[in-house]
Structure formats: C-alpha cells, structure tokens
Amino acid sequence: MKEGYKDSVLGEIPVVWKIEQLKNTSNQEKHSFIDGDWIESPYISDSGIRLIQTGNIGIGNFIDKNKKHISESSFIELKCKEVIEGDILICRLAAPVGRACIVPNLGTKNITSVDVTICRPNINVNKVYLINYLNFQPTLNRMENLSGGSTRQRINRTNLGKIEIPIPPLPEQQKIAEILSTVDAKIEIIDQQISETQELKKGLMQQLLTKGIAHTEFKDSVLGKIPKSWEVNKIGETCHSFAGGTPKRSVKEYYKNGTIPWVKSGEVDNDNITSTKESVTELAINETSTRLIKSKSILVALYGATAGKVGVLKMDACSNQAVLAINSNVDFISNKFLYHFLKSITKTLLVLCQGSGQPNLSKKIIDNVNIPIPQKGEQQQIATILTTTDDKLEVLSEKKTTYQELKQGLMQQLLTGKVRV
C-alpha cells in the first residue's frame, strides 16, 4: 500500500481521511436529514411559499422552472419543513437517483416535495465538497444500486443515509471545493455565452428570414410581409426529397461488414450529422428501399422523439423511412439557405404534423411548406451570417465539453484522494 494511505470500504484513501455515512454528515438539529412534504394539488397556489420539486434539482445545479407555491396557512396546517438557502437537496427519484443541488437564494420561503431529502451539513463538512461527492458518478452508481421500483427507480431515505462519504480534513475539503468550483464557474460562463448566442441567432433568423438585408419596400404574401423582390414557392416546387427505408434485419448480408452509414431519425438531433451507430452494405442499397444520400444533403426527422429536427449530412449515407433527405434546385435556392429556413420552422413543422391528423410528418407535408426565396446573392449573405453564429455555438459547445471532461478528471483524482491538495 502507498505510504500515507489506508484501506477502507471505498478502497484506498489517505490515512487522515475518515468515512462517514451520509446521514452523519448532517448536524443534529431538527430537519437536518429528513424528507420533504407530501403536497396534494388542492394546496397548490399561484404565490406564497415556493415548492421545490424534483424537476428543480439538477446534477449540482438548481433548475429554476415550473414554479409552484402553497399559502402560508397551508404551510402551517400541513406542518411543512422549511428549506433554507444553503441546504442540500437530494432527489430520491431517477434520473439519476441521488442527484443533488444546493438551494440558492430564491427570494422566498421554501419547502420541498416528499421525494427529496433535505441535508443540512454540520460544521465539519464543506457543502460544496459534499455536493460534488454526491454528484460524483461512482456515488450515483451506488445510489442506483440501492434503489428499487418496477416503473421508476427510487432510493428510500434509510438507504440514502447509509451511503459512505470520505471526509478529508476541513481545509482539504475547502481546497478541493475551491478547485472544482473554479471549473464550474468557467462552465457557467460558457453556458451564459451559449444562451446569449442562441438568443442572438433567434433574433437574426426572425429578422433575416422575413425582412432580409437592407430592404425598404415590402409586399403581402402567404407568409406575411416580405421584401418586394422576394418570391414564395412551395418546398416541393424548388427541392427534391425522398425518405429512406429499413433493410430486413433477417438478411444479415444487408448489415454485416457494412460500410455505408445508415441514419435513423433519433440521430437527426445535431446540426451536423457526422456519424451513425449502424452501417449497411451496398447490397442493401441495391436491393431495398433505402437509398444513397449525398453529403451536404439536408435531413429532416419525420417522426419519433426528434420529429421536425433538421441536420446537415456530412458524409455520403442512407437512412431509414423516418428520415427525409432534401436537396434544393440550385437555380432557385441554396441548400444552406434552405437549411436555415427549415431550422427556423421546427415548431411549425410539429404543428403541421399534429394538424394533419397523423402522428408523423411526411414528405407531402414538407413539400407543401411555403418558403421565401430571395435573390441568390442575398440568400448566400443570410446563410453566411447564420452559419457564423452556428460556428460560434459549435466552438462554445466544444469548449464546454472540454471543461466538463476536465472536471470529471479532477473529481476522479481529488474526491478519491489519489491526488492531494
């Protein structure tokens, strides 16, 4: 064994570290490790005391959405436990079981729901250290292993309280917390930049795809007011589109050693489609309804969880029947402009899907969508501006991934004591 380390239920840890059950990291005051309250719908009101729900608890962050309240009189009648700023809330439901966050200042008096455990750490435990250890993947895995439930996983408070936590000396906890918080702060800044860039793009799309660039004269159209020099056509009149197909699974030769990427609707969830989980053979292309799609084609998911989403294919591939491939007639419209237009109407496509009386989008529905057609030069300018914001979002996304991976590496080293600070 390495000098300065000892064996424990969690493996080798520094000799100066202790192991405590989670319930023992709380102070001995009332409501220091206890579940929230069962609040039935008749008690819900528009204002008053904030009810923090399981959906408000992220992995290390508080998600300020779906605001519900109860009245002060209900709080007293139900003998609710008050949640205060700085409390740790641990969600006992998936997904994942055991995720936790620190309660921020919400500007209200707060309570929480019955599937959330309130943990109020004692003075020997740094809250930020503890929250990072609770959201450490090996800890979440242990909580999942102690969970039950046939339809939805849940860990009971007794098992939750038995989760072992390594406790370094307080100064070391504080230093670990400081290092991890520095990375969190950087990720938070990047998230803010992503949000601002998304809002910028939203505004640009609204402006450029309806009013264009530097126009002063407008006319009425089926799409509303558009620049006088623009035309309106249906997508089916200016583009060529087709859906793919699924080769028979029973014919192994269609899949075995396949070299042609095969896109399923669930994989149309990114702006750039660069890889697929499955591939098919040339035999499948030749003998089945799936067809080769050229790189730079636009793909639209027709149904499933990603229905209405749009992406650009970055390699030659084929697809299943739930994906529509579209290529524009370059004499009228550029693929890049078409792509940004389709991205701008994702919600409209879903409404069309529901309004058609069918659960799915289809080639017919999309072919009948009206699209504004500026002059080719203006199309290119608009596409360039919007592509620039997409590029910025991609860079920010990659940067965020880098910092997230950095944090995971630091957690693995610091929260196990492999590297001391």
- The predicted-structure confidence for 15-65, as pLDDT tens digits, reads as follows 999 999 999 999 766 557 999 999 999 999 989 999 999 999 999 999 999
| pLDDT for the residue numbered 2 | 86
Looking at the domain assignment, is residue 155 inside a domain?
yes
Coil, strand or helix at 260 = strand
Asked which of 10-14, 172-176, 254-258, 329-333 is least confident by mean pLDDT, the reply is: 329-333
Within this chain, do residues 155 and 249 fall inside the same structural domain, yes or no?
A: no
The model's confidence at residue 100, banded by pLDDT at 50, 70 and 90, is very high
Looking at the domain assignment, is residue 41 inside a domain?
yes
Residue whose pair of structure tokens reads 């000396």 in the numeric block: 169
| pLDDT for the residue numbered 359 | 61
| pLDDT for the residue numbered 269 | 85
Within this chain, do residues 26 and 145 fall inside the same structural domain, yes or no?
A: yes
Q: Mean pLDDT across the stretch 110-129?
A: 96
Which of 373, 390, 409 is a domain's end point?
A: 373
Give the single-character DSSP code of 267: G
Percentage of residues of the chain with pLDDT beyond 70: 97
Asked which of 103-117, 193-207, 345-359 is least confident by mean pLDDT, the reply is: 345-359
Within this chain, do residues 194 and 304 fall inside the same structural domain, yes or no?
A: no
Within this chain, do residues 177 and 120 fall inside the same structural domain, yes or no?
A: no
Within this chain, do residues 396 and 306 fall inside the same structural domain, yes or no?
A: no
| pLDDT for the residue numbered 152 | 84
- Rounded to an integer, what distance in angstroms lies between the CA atom of residue 409 and that of residue 46? 43
Question: Pick the residue with more confidence: 140 or 29?
Answer: 140
Q: Which residue segment(s) compose the domain that 401 sits in?
A: 168-204+378-421
Within this chain, do residues 392 and 265 fall inside the same structural domain, yes or no?
A: no
Within this chain, do residues 271 and 136 fall inside the same structural domain, yes or no?
A: no
Looking at the domain assignment, is residue 134 inside a domain?
yes
- Rounded to an integer, what distance in angstroms lies between the CA atom of residue 364 and that of residue 263? 21
Looking at the domain assignment, is residue 7 inside a domain?
no
Residue pLDDT, tens place only, 336-367: 999 999 999 988 887 777 655 556 899 999 99
Within this chain, do residues 336 and 402 fall inside the same structural domain, yes or no?
A: no
The model's confidence at residue 331, banded by pLDDT at 50, 70 and 90, is confident
Total count of domains within the chain: 3
DSSP string, 185-216: HHHHHHHHHHHHHHHHHHHHHHHHHHH-SS--
Within this chain, do residues 320 and 365 fall inside the same structural domain, yes or no?
A: yes
Looking at the domain assignment, is residue 1 inside a domain?
no
Structure tokens at 130: 């503890």
Within this chain, do residues 83 and 120 fall inside the same structural domain, yes or no?
A: yes
| pLDDT for the residue numbered 151 | 79
276 in Cβ contact with 304 (< 8 Å): no
Within this chain, do residues 26 and 151 fall inside the same structural domain, yes or no?
A: yes
Within this chain, do residues 184 and 59 fall inside the same structural domain, yes or no?
A: no
Q: What is the CATH number of the domain that holds 416?
A: 1.10.287.1120
Asked which of 6-20, 167-181, 330-344, 348-362 is least confident by mean pLDDT, the reply is: 348-362
- Rounded to an integer, what distance in angstroms lies between the CA atom of residue 72 and that of residue 43? 11
Asked which of 89-98, 149-158, 167-176 is least confident by mean pLDDT, the reply is: 149-158
Looking at the domain assignment, is residue 223 inside a domain?
no
Torsion of CA 262, 263, 266, 269, to 10 degrees: 140
Looking at the domain assignment, is residue 226 inside a domain?
no
The model's confidence at residue 137, banded by pLDDT at 50, 70 and 90, is very high
Which of 358, 373, 388 is a domain's end point?
A: 373
Paired strand residues for 154 = 93, 148
Cβ-proximal residues to 198 (8 Å cutoff; 6+ apart), any chain: 393
Looking at the domain assignment, is residue 103 inside a domain?
yes
| pLDDT for the residue numbered 360 | 83
Residue 104 has pLDDT above 90, yes or no: yes
- Rounded to an integer, what distance in angstroms lies between the CA atom of residue 246 and that of residue 255? 11
- Rounded to an integer, what distance in angstroms lies between the CA atom of residue 81 and that of residue 112? 8
Q: Mean pLDDT across the stretch 240-254?
A: 96
Q: What is the CATH number of the domain that holds 263?
A: 3.90.220.20
